[in-house]
Structure 1
Amino acid sequence: MFGRSRSWVGGGHGKSSRNIHSLDHLKYLYHVLTKNTTVTEQNRNLLVETIRSITEILIWGDQNDSSVFDFFLEKNMFVFFLNILRQKSGRYVCVQLLQTLNILFENISHETSLYYLLSNNYVNSIIVHKFDFSDEEIMAYYISFLKTLSLKLNNHTVHFFYNEHTNDFALYTEAIKFFNHPESMVRIAVRTITLNVYKVSVDNQAMLHYIRDKTAVPYFSNLVWFIGSHVIELDNCVQTDEEHRNRGKLSDLVAEHLDHLHYLNDILIINCEFLNDVLTDHLLNRLFLPLYVYSLENHGKGGERPKISLPVSLYLLSQVFLIIHHAPLVNSLAEVILNGDLSEMYAKAEQDVQRSSAKPSIRCFVKPPETLERSLEMNKHKGKRRVQKRPNYKNVGEEEDEEKGPTEDAQEDAEKAKGTEGGPAGVKTSGESEEIEMVIMERSKLSELAACSSVQEQNTTDEEKSAAATSSESVQWSRPFLDMVYHALDSPDDDYHALFVLCLLYAMSHNKGMDPEKLERIQLPVPNVAEKTTYNHLLAERLIRIMNNAAQPDGKIRLATLELSCLLLKQQVLTASGCILKDVHLACLEGAREESVHLVRHFYKGEEIFLDMFEDEYRSMTMKPMNVEYLMMDASILLPPTGTPLTGIDFVKRLPCGDVEKTRRAIRVFFMLRCLSLQLRGEPETQLPLTREEDLIKTDDVLDLNNSDLIACTVVTKDGGMAQRFLAVDIYQMSLVEPDVSRLGWGVVKFAGLLQDMQVTGVEDDSRALNITVHKPASSPHSRPFPILQATFVFSDHIRCIIAKQRLAKGRIQARRMKMQRIAALLDLPIQPTTEVLGFGLGSSSSTQHLPFRFYDQGRRGSSDPTVQRSVFASVDKVPDAPTSPEQPQPHLPDQLVIVNEIADSKPSKSSARGAEVETAHLSPSLLPAQQPTISLLSEDAADSLSVESLTLVPPVDPHSLHTLAGIPGPPVPAAGCTATPDEEAPAPLSTEAKQEPGLQRPWRHGTSRPGSQGKATLQK
């Protein structure tokens, strides 16, 4: 619609050698215009191309030759454009003319050139020309032309558009006539034009008075009615869309309301006092109070007054406080919501019928008596009849003048209102109107003292809940809107209304224009308050009740509601000096946290991917905290809460569906309540996340690899690159290192990835190669994991390939098992009796979290968890030859290896073989190592086959080291597949072998496991 034609005419009207960018060519085009003053079917294409060429020459002349504009002005060539329009030349010519004019004004950069074009008032004549606006293309180019002109407005150019003598401003008045155009792009352009006009009018008093006295009231009254009509349509859409079928239309209506609020806020931000007064009055008394706020109260009292449903009212008010920050507006609105009383309003309704109908400013949502276009035309012809008095607007301090002045205008307005509404409807609307005075809690000093004393009593007698409830009811009796707020929070069935109430409280407390004293008067949460000693007990109890309901197995509280409740409670009771929450409320909160722990215990081990969900939910919660502004832009929360993901609604904004989503919800509830509990008690988080960045090896770290076990391999990436690396397996990670050229025995980490995010598969035609993929942890449960490494690892022989695969598979299982143990500790679950974690049979009752080999010094980064020590890399290329240093604590035997102590005849028992089968059977399919060919390095008569699970290294150890095995208790459940004889001594042949040749690699013995190695390595940044 707004596309530009690119077919600029070159030299088709004369000789091909003529320079199209020249004064001579402009003179030629002028000659063409003079010969074709009348538009016909034969010459209309010629005229259109001539106008395009003239526009191109003018743009060129603006940059290169000022004589072009001199000639244009001298010959008054703009008259030709105007004459062509006035000839009713048809759609084709109008569209092309508007398009070229728009391009011309967009590309003019020098003010002198702009003055040439705007002189003689020809542009205003084009603006007021009666185009056929039923043609959407003409409408599009016309409004785009007006917007381009408005962008050129400044203190100098404004005089070309606003005529002080005739009191006319065509650019503005013609634009606002399309404020309610069906096409959204036209409405947006009108808003841009008006904002540009208002910005310039701040420094031009004459134009400002014209806008205020001639156009502000008609425009704002019609705009407010237009916004209210959209709101009623939005409410009807919500009421009739229980099945979520009209979400597209609902989203459009919500987006339109947001656009309106942003537009109103942009006007208020300009800070033009006259305009702000008029706009604030109309918004409060014609829209926000009668339609939004009064809909909060009991619908039975208002008769047939236009109202919207409670959820829509709360939702829209939240948007108002989140977007608009004009202090007089938001404070007046909050005063009525927090302290308003409607008892007098209904009592005076009947006797105020006649007076309200004649009052210029009335508090009711009513259609303007006449359209905006008619109002502008009438004001234009009235001249200065009502310049000194603003129609339909009540000037401060002019009440006496209004009483003494003539009443014919007021009577005329009343008659118009009755005629517009159609007889009885007009009388009804007038009878339900109120005066502009804010109806607030100003009964008497006695009632104020009663309210204050009741609040104080509520603060001091928190143990007596019944007394607190009685006192709160006495306060709320004369505050119907505040009463509704507290009542909506106490809904045990669902959180449909509670979510909107919490959003409203959040929006009011974070509004920059809000007076904090208004919130503190009723002890609502106020952020960034240095010192406070009390808080609203009733609100705190309602919030804690929401948290307790969320922690129930069948709770109907959505995650968004819970997060907002936690946010508001922290805002209420946390100060710079600490937490002021009373012990009884803290105990209730701790009870809710305990309920959330029990809820997560129910799902522990219930899903194979519990660990992945646990970490994903914590990552999502910390990386993407709730943004209330974004939440209130989502139209889907206006619909009743649903439990199906088929609607496409975000998980935090709906109820869970199925066991997986119930598990996710339980985990998130646990995280939120745990975080809140720790913050209120002033304790740091020491157990989450399960994997800390400071505990991990990072790329380019320099490690001391002396006496470390590594597997040499060639890494072939997808793009064909090859690199020689050493593979090392850590407690949580696999690493690829290369030797450091500066120091022998040191290595530089070239890649490090988490074992739990790794996939290992064999290569069909190469027994020495493995395909390894390491994924980056997903930022959300729905996003696809991004691979940070996809490569083929080629080893020197198939033996090392098998060992590498077995080590990576076991390392992955061990990493997941350790994290599951940490989760168990978080949930206060017993760890010792557990014989299986994620299908991996434990071979020891020890709760150690160490790997079996050796440890390196953590001098580079201090671990935040002292109980978790770093492992060194266990492998086949090197074996340690030094025992553990005296100051190094003796590491426990690893839990992930099957412990099989050989009996005196050094033959494995059959029960251990059966245990290995049981262990493999318990593994989930994704964690099962691929089957490998049977390998036997030592022939054993009693050994049937060598499983991958039993492929471990036997490092050289001293006899006394083997003797320490006796101190390790056996597994509590023999059925786990491991038989251990703690009192057995190590077999003599092995200890003798270790004494004789400590530096040689040892052959594997079937059924044996590798004890803890005593070597030590250091880490240096």
Structure 2
Amino acid sequence: MWFPFWRSRDRFSLDELRYLTDQIMKVQIVNDVNKDFVIEALRSIAELITYGDQHDTAFFEFFMEKQVMGEFVRILKISRTSIVSLQLLQTMSIMIQNLKSEHSIYYMFSNEHINYFITYSFDFRNEELLSFYISFLRAISGKLNKNTISVLVKTRNVRRFGARPVVDLEITAVSFHHHYLCSIKLSLSSSLLIILILYLPSPDDIVDFPLYVEAIRFAFHEEGMIRTAVRALTLNVYHVGDDCVNKYIANAPQTDYFLNLLKFFREHCIGLNELVSQASGSLGFESTSSILSAVDEIEDNLYYFSDVISAGIPDIGRLITDNILKLLVFPLLLPSLSIGVVNETKISAVTSLYLLCCILRIVKIKDLATSVAAAFFCPLETFMPSAEAKQNGYMSSCGPALDSQKDDNSNLSFECDSERLQASIPNLSSSSQTQSGKDVLWHDSNGSHLDLR
């Protein structure tokens, strides 16, 4: 078995691909004895398929005829060494990244072989294996469009019908109004069958999206490169613009990802405040470096929020905007600017001002800016339940929270409900006053006011 593998042969030929495939199909178990041969064969197959995609379609036709993707799955099942699993992930990543034909990509993603690799229980204690796995997921996300994403999601309503014999190879995928009509010829023999698969998605049809679900499991990994790769993957998914996928993402339990992300961001903000407080006495190189690193992390998070919102999924945009206000701005940042803050405050005034500036500068959402502006002129209890009003050590002298409020002597008006805050400030000059001799900005609102530093 070993000698013929190294015999002289044109490296980039169909005969070479045929030989390697035959050898892989003969493997019954992968262990320390033959692992090097299997690894080299997998690597060579990836090179040949990439070469064939650019020079000769016969290479990929042979790849489909022999159902090599199924052989990859079989090798994974019989492998007893993690290095072969690593090579399989690398092989498929190389192929997916370099294939230019959408028909080829569509075939790679079909038949549930890719989903099998995505959901396989790898030993992620091996950091190198985890790195290759995340790269594999990201490579898949880079090839997503409204056609290819349809074969990676799991739906309830799938109908198969209309079989007839054909004699040539063809793969087609047509998308119209979120209905996918896909035809795949499964082999190259004279008894080929063309199977028409008609997807009729509805808002409730998608029951699982393994690529997305498995990726966000690592959204808060301690390794920054992995977090970055996961975020890039999610943005690729959001920017596909498939309504059914967007509805799946915008419903529980997938929305927990965004809530956890915002809580993760809030902890980073509190951490920045602690670093600033510790460095206030003596600012050295180490403390400066730590602060700059924390600032970079915070800004990266905000740019990610902005990118997610710009993907145009309304429910997700509202979820992020509302929870930035609910989890960070109202309970932590704005109370820190009040002269009534007590010692247990979690965020200092300086850090709060910096974070508010960053949020408004990077997350350029009109509703978010309007809500923050309105909060400067209205009691905080108006924007959140009274039970949350002292989360940052501040309790206004105002009464209970109001559902809606309008000052007859000003043009400021706003409405607040459990779902969304809307504020209108047509003329701030007529609704606010600056008292001379006092560093206080206030707005008379039924006897309540918010004093700012």
Sort the TM-score into its range (normalised by shorter chain). 0.7 to 0.9
In 2, the alpha carbon distance for the partners of 1:251 and 1:196 equals: 29
Superimposed CA distance per residue, residues 533-555 of structure 1 (whole angstroms, 9 cap, x where no aligned partner): xxxxxxxxxxxxxxxxxxxxxxx
**Cα displacement (A) at 1:31:** 1.6
Displacement after TM superposition at 1:300 (Å): 3.7
Match of 2:355 in 1: 316
The 5 Å alignment of 1:147-162 reads: 147-162=138-153
Comparing 238-247 and 312-321, the one that deviates more: 238-247
Q: Residue 346 of structure 2 aligns with which residue?
A: 307
In 2: Cα distance, 1:438 partner to 1:13 partner: 79
Equivalent of residue 271 in structure 2, options 233, 236, 251: 233
- After TM superposition, list the pairs within 5 Å mapping 1:263-282 onto structure 2: 263-282=304-323
Aligned partners of 1:344, 1:105: CA distance in 2, in Å? Answer: 52
Specify whether residues 215 and 19 from structure 1 end up closer, same or farther in structure 2 by C-alpha distance, changes over 3 A only. farther
User: Which of 445, 464, 484 does residue 408 from structure 2 map onto?
Assistant: 445
Match of 1:254 among 295, 306, 310: 295
**Matched residues, number:** 380
> Is the contact made by 1:455 and 1:471 (CA closer than 8 Å) also made in structure 2?
no
Which residue of 45, 49, 66 corresponds with 2:40?
49
Q: 1:89 aligns with which of 69, 72, 80?
A: 80
Aligned-residue sequence identity (percent) comes to: 32
Distance in 1 (CA, whole Å) between partners of 2:127 and 2:302 is: 27
Rounded to whole Å, the distance in 1 between the matches of 2:124 and 2:346 is 35
1:218 aligns with 2:210: no
Q: Does 2:212 match 1:172?
A: yes
In structure 2, the CA distance between the partners of 1:12 and 1:314, relative to structure 1 (3 Å rule), is farther
> Match of 1:375?
none
State whether residues 290 and 364 of structure 1, in contact with CA within 8 Å, keep that contact through their aligned partners in structure 2: yes
Looking at structure 2, the residues matched to 256 and 331 of structure 1 have their Cα atoms a distance apart, in angstroms, of: 26
Contact persistence 1:143–1:190 (CA under 8 A): yes
**Shift in alpha-carbon separation, 1:100–1:299, aligned structure 2, 3 A:** farther
Shift of 1:94: 2.2
Query: Equivalent residue for 2:282?
Result: 243
Corresponding residue for residue 328 of structure 2: 287
The one-letter code matched in structure 1 to 2:212 is Y
- Structure of larger gyration radius: 1
Residue in 2 that maps onto 1:326: 365
- Aligned 8 A contact 2:332 2:346 in 1: yes
**1:112 offset after TM fit, Å?**
1.5
Please say if residues 454 and 472 of structure 1, whose CA atoms lie closer than 8 Å, have aligned partners that are also in contact. Answer: no
Matches within 5 A, 1:175-186: 175-186=215-226
Q: Are residue 15 (structure 1) and residue 7 (structure 2) matched?
A: yes
Task: Answer yes or no: is the 8 Å Cα contact 2:377–2:442 preserved in 1.
Answer: no
Answer yes or no: is the 8 Å Cα contact 1:455–1:472 preserved in 2: no
Q: Deviations over 1:289-341 (max 9, x none)?
A: 2222232224646x86x6311111111111111111111222222221x2231
Contact between 1:147 and 1:190, CA under 8 Å: does it hold in 2? yes
- Distance in 2, matches of 1:479 and 1:220, equals 33
Residues of 2 paired with 1:132 and 1:277: CA distance? 37
**Residues in 2 aligned to 1:164 and 1:81: alpha-carbon distance in whole angstroms:** 25
Determine if contact 2:381/2:402 at 8 Å carries over to the other structure.
no
Distance between the aligned counterparts of 2:250 and 2:299, measured in 1?
25
Aligned residue type for 2:7 = K
Distance 1:454 1:237 in 2: 36
Task: Give the CA deviation at 1:257.
Answer: 0.2
Instruction: Check conservation: 2:410, 2:431, Cα contact below 8 A.
Output: no
Q: Secondary structure at the match of 1:167?
A: strand
Q: 1:31 aligns with which of 22, 35, 47?
A: 22
Q: Distance in 1 between matches of 2:267 and 2:153?
A: 32
Instruction: Please give the TM-score of this superposition, normalised by the length of structure 2.
Output: 0.75
1:554-579 per-position Cα deviation (integer Å, ceiling 9, x unaligned)? xxxxxxxxxxxxxxxxxxxxxxxxxx
Pairing 1:502-513 to 2, within 5 Å after superposition: none
Output the CA distance in 1 between the equivalents of 2:298 and 2:249.
25
Q: How far did residue 151 of structure 1 move?
A: 1.0
Determine which of 80, 87, 93 is the counterpart of 1:102. Answer: 93
2:215, 2:230 within 8 Å by CA — same for their partners in 1? yes
- Structure 2: segments with no counterpart, 5+ residues: 157-205, 413-425
User: Counterparts of 1:877-956 in structure 2 under 5 Å?
Assistant: none
2:431 and 2:142 map into 1 onto residues whose CA distance is: 60
Deviations along 1:164-187, one digit per CA (max 9) or x if unpaired, are 226111111111111111111111
Distance 2:61 2:67 in 1: 10
Kept in 1, the 8 Å contact 2:330–2:380? The answer is: no
Residues 208 and 471 (structure 1), Cα distance of their counterparts in 2 relative to 1, 3 Å cut:
closer
Give the direction of change, closer, same or farther, for the CA distance of 1:107–1:235 in structure 2 (3 Å limit): same
Contact 1:115–1:157 (8 Å) recurs in 2: yes
Q: Structure 1: where are the runs of 5+ without partners?
A: 1-10, 353-361, 367-427, 460-464, 488-1021
Query: Against the structure 1 CA distance between its residues 469 and 128, is the aligned structure 2 distance closer, same or farther, given a 3 Å change threshold?
Result: same
What is the correspondence of 1:322-471 to structure 2 with a 5 Å cutoff? 322-336=361-375, 338-342=376-380, 349=386, 442=405, 444-446=407-409, 468-469=436-437
Cα shift readout 1:426-455 (whole Å, capped 9, x = no counterpart): xx9xx99xxxx8888x35425779xx9996
Task: Name the CA distance, whole Å, in 2 between partners of 1:60 and 1:280.
Answer: 47
- CA RMSD after TM alignment: 3.5
The one-character-per-residue Cα deviations of 1:183-240 (angstroms, maximum 9, x if unpaired) are 111111111111111111x3x2221211111344201110011111111111111111
Secondary structure of 2:112's match? helix
Task: Verify the 8 A CA contact 2:219 2:227 in the aligned structure 1.
Answer: yes
The answer on 1:129 being equivalent to 2:129 is: no
Letter in 1 for 2:329: F
Q: CA separation of 1:299/1:479 partners in 2, compared to 1, >3 Å: closer, same or farther?
A: closer
The whole-number CA distance in structure 2 between the counterparts of 1:89 and 1:312 is: 53
| Counterpart amino acid of residue 266 in structure 1 | D
Q: CA deviation at 1:88?
A: 5.4
SS of residue paired to 1:291: helix
SS in 2 for 1:84: helix
Instruction: State whether residues 411 and 431 of structure 2, in contact with CA within 8 Å, keep that contact through their aligned partners in structure 1.
Output: no
How has the CA–CA distance of structure 1 residues 256 and 33 changed in structure 2, closer, same or farther, with 3 Å as cutoff?
same
Structure-2 change in CA distance of 1:37 and 1:326 (3 Å) = farther
Give the drift of 1:28: 0.9
1:322-381: CA deviation from partner (whole Å, max 9, x where unpaired): 111111222222221x223136789x73xx6xxxxxxxxx88989xxxxxxxxxxxxxxx
Distance 1:471 1:81, change over 3 A: closer
Contact 1:164 1:206 (8 Å CA) reproduced:
no
Q: Structure 1 residue 52: deviation in Å?
A: 0.6
